[in-house]
Amino acid sequence: MEAVKFHVRKNDLVVVMAGKEKGKSGKILKVLPKKKRVIVEKVNFVKRHSRPTGRMRQGGIIQKEAPIHISNVLILCPKCNQGVRTGKRALEDGQKSLVCKKCGELIERK
C-alpha cells in the first residue's frame, strides 16, 4: 500500500495560512494521514489539565500542540520568506527535489 502523499511531511518548515494561528511558522513534528492533520512545533498550543499520575505527581496544566488541518499549512520558502505553493523537480542524480513555485528556489528537506 502506498502512503498517502501530502504537500508537506515531517520536519518540513511550514507557515499556517488560515485559522487563529495564521502567520505562525514551525516545524512539522507529526503528520496524521488519516485525519489529514499535522502537528506543528509551537503552533496551536492548547492547555490541558492533567491529573496527577504515578510518574507526574504534580498534575496541573500542561501545554501541548494540537493538530491543525494539513490544508492550512504551506511550505515556508526561505527566499520568499512566506508560505508558498511548491512543485517537484527531478535533479540530475534522479532525486526529486521540492521547488518554490514562486521564485523557483530549491527547498531543502531534512
10 touching Zn ion, by CB under 5 A? no
80 touching Zn ion, by CB under 5 A? yes
Residues 6+ apart with CB under 8 A from 95: none
Element (H, E) at 106: strand 106-107
Q: Which of 93, 90, 68 is nearest to 8 (CA)?
A: 68
Site for Zn ion (CB under 5 A): which residue of 15, 28, 73, 100? 100
Distance (Å, whole) CA 12 – CA 70: 12
The interface mask with Zn ion, positions 39-78, x = CB under 5 A, is --------------------------------------x-
- Cβ proximity to Zn ion: between 62 and 91 the closer is 91
Three-class secondary structure of residue 34 per DSSP: coil
107 touching Zn ion, by CB under 5 A? no
Instruction: Name residue, grid cell 531543502.
Output: 108
8 touching Zn ion, by CB under 5 A? no
**In the chain, how long is the greatest CA-to-CA distance?**
56
Where does this chain touch Zn ion (CB under 5 A) — which range of 24-32, 33-41, 85-93, 97-105?
Answer: 97-105
> What is the binding site for Zn ion (CB under 5 A)?
77, 79-80, 100, 102-103, 105
